[in-house]
Amino acid sequence: MKHLVGKIITKKVPFMDDEVEIQKLSIAEVFEVQKLVTKMSKSKDDSAQLTLIQDLIRMAVIGAKEISDEDFKTFPIGELSTLSEEIMKFSGLTDAASGN
């Protein structure tokens, strides 16, 4: 089992009539997402949810770390939301995504 430490599991998912590759979040990354969700829920800033989606996508989508906040604003919000939900589902966080 030790040979699997640090192994990254990925899959391709549709995004804006194309495909992107996402990776399953590690336990450490899941804890980071939980911190971000807690911070977002306490925030009075209307853009807090978008910031959470951006951070989640940067963590899980291969090649997304370089995307600026300004670049994110060029994507349709529905596409970003669907992608973030797919990331949560792939990482086993469907309950967290639905609020249950």
pLDDT by residue, tens only, the chain of 100 residues: 998 898 899 999 999 999 999 999 999 999 999 998 888 888 888 788 889 999 999 999 999 999 999 999 999 999 999 999 999 999 988 754 444 4
- Residue 93 is classified by DSSP as -
Q: Which two tokens stand for residue 96?
A: 């967290």
SS3 77: helix
Handedness of CA 74, 96, 65, 83 (dihedral sign): negative
Alpha-carbon distances of 47 from 51, 63, 69, 85, rounded to whole Å? 6, 23, 11, 18
Cβ atoms of 60 and 32 within 8 Å: the answer is: no
pTM of the model: 0.84
